[in-house]
Amino acid sequence: MEELLIVKSLNKLQAKSADLAEELNIRLTELYKWYNKQLNAISDDMVSILNDPSNKYKPAVDIKQLSSRETTDTYVRFPEEVVDIELSLQNLSVKDEVINIENSEYGTKSWPGFWLNAFLGCKTSSLWISEEDFDILYHLNDVRVDVHESNEIEESFEIVFHFTENKYFSNTKLWRKFNFIKDDVTSESSKIAWINYEIPESYQGFFRFFESKIDYDDLMMAMCIKDRIWRNPLKYVKRYQAKMDGETVESESDDEPEVENQVGSRYPFSWLF
């Protein structure tokens, strides 16, 4: 009888623990949405810099707000890499040759090929870039990630690539969305409206990413963009430039996204802990 009462009491405590976990998940989900909203604000500033270096740059996001955020009676520390993006952008000087170029044909007028270099600087995404892609990706103007609901039932996100007018296709943006429902993954993508341009049958480049069928490589590429490149593209641009200059670069071991730990996770911020 006494043993039964102990078990009953322990079960009550365990139930409280489960409730706390549920509350944590709700709060983290809201925090994750806030986090992505701030990243998009940083991306707005980045687009401004990459397209008009003469503009006086004024951050839309306060670094102090990115470093810590008040939630009820505690502070939650954010990853330093987010602050690094902001600091890196602030330290850019219009006197630097690399961002003192003006060409209307480029997607990023003040830093031609910025996003192409970012993709080439990351081990995972570089495998997706073919020679045929170079000229087209020079028209890539911006990359955005929209993260939707994230809980134990469903997690989904959409990657959007914005392009300037070019001779290859009429789309101003191309997108791909990934939906995670329990153990199933589905995907949707925009259709590329090619203009008098045919992809060779042997083509194995970047624009294969917009095929609706999904495989492991697609998912790895998507997670790489979402969790690595989009958060700090300058890191990968500088890495690629260092390689081209024959310099020793940092280890690329952190380029490989851990899909099983980040996609469909019960806790969207589990990678912080």
- Interatomic CA distance for residues 219 and 197, integer angstroms: 27
pLDDT at residue 52 in the model: 77
* SS3 call for 125: helix
181 is written with which tokens? Answer: 């429902």
Q: Which residues of 163-186 are buried (b: 16+ CB within 10 A; e: fewer)?
A: bbebebbebeebbbbbebeeeebe
Of 2-16, 63-77, 186-200, the range with the highest mean pLDDT is 186-200
Residue type, 116: L
pLDDT tens digits, one per residue of 245-270? 888 766 655 555 554 444 334 434 33
Mean pLDDT of the chain: 76
C-alpha closest to that of 114 among 82, 79, 146, 161? 161
Instruction: Provide the pLDDT confidence category of residue 238 given band limits of 50, 70 and 90.
Output: very high
- Interatomic CA distance for residues 213 and 210, integer angstroms: 9
- Interatomic CA distance for residues 107 and 121, integer angstroms: 18
Strands 173-181, 184-189: pairing kind: antiparallel
Q: Quick one: DSSP state of residue 35?
A: H
Cα angle 31-32-35, degrees, rounded to a multiple of 5: 85
**Would you say 237 and 228 are in contact if contact means Cβ atoms under 8 Å apart?**
no
More confident residue, 155 or 232: 232
Instruction: Provide the pLDDT confidence category of residue 149 given band limits of 50, 70 and 90.
Output: low
Residue 134: pLDDT above 90?
Answer: yes
**Would you say 113 and 241 are in contact if contact means Cβ atoms under 8 Å apart?**
no
Q: Structure pTM?
A: 0.71
pLDDT at residue 266 in the model: 40
Q: Which of 111-125, 148-162, 192-206 has the lowest mean pLDDT?
A: 148-162
pLDDT tens digits, one per residue of 78-129? 344 444 444 454 454 434 444 444 455 688 988 999 999 999 999 999 999 9
Homologous superfamily assigned to 2-272: Nucleosome assembly protein (3.30.1120.90)
- Interatomic CA distance for residues 33 and 108, integer angstroms: 27
* SS3 call for 163: strand
Burial class (CB within 10 angstroms; exposed 0-12, middle 13-18, buried 19+) of 156: buried
Q: List the chain domain ranges.
A: 2-272
